[in-house]
Amino acid sequence: MLTVKEIIYITANANVGCNNGVLDDVDVIFNSGEIRSLRTCRCGKGCNGSDRLPEIGQEFKSMEDFYAYTENESYEAEAIFMNMYNDWIDNLVSIVKGGKAK
């Protein structure tokens, strides 16, 4: 279980808003020591495509659940990259063993 331990504002823009495109960069620190970065609007509810902020003490079953809650696409991008990387490694191993790439 991941629990939000702390939220740190990296940038505190004077004119951050919910509809003006000016966002704050925020680090979310978990009880496990993991840190994830988000970009959020003034209210923190994820307006205009920004990330929704969790609350301190909020719990998540996994990092995937955290990203689903925040509506952050980093987890999906990471999963796509890892799938591509694993396919590349499989092809490389196949070629080295004298086979053909898939």
Percent of the chain at pLDDT above 90? 25
Residues 77 and 49 in one domain: no
> 36-80: per-residue pLDDT in tens?
989 888 888 888 888 899 999 999 998 888 988 987 665 556 656
Residue 17 CB contacts under 8 Å (≥ 6 apart), including other chains: 41, 42
Residues 54 and 98 in one domain: no
pTM attached to this predicted model: 0.68
Domain that holds residue 15: 2-71
Residues 47 and 60 in one domain: yes
User: SS in 3 state form for the chain?
Assistant: CEEEEEEEECCCCCCCCCCCCCCEEEEEEECCCCEEEEEECCCCECHHHCCECCCCCCEECCHHHHHHHHCCCHHHHHHHHHHHHHHHHHHHHHHHCCCCCC
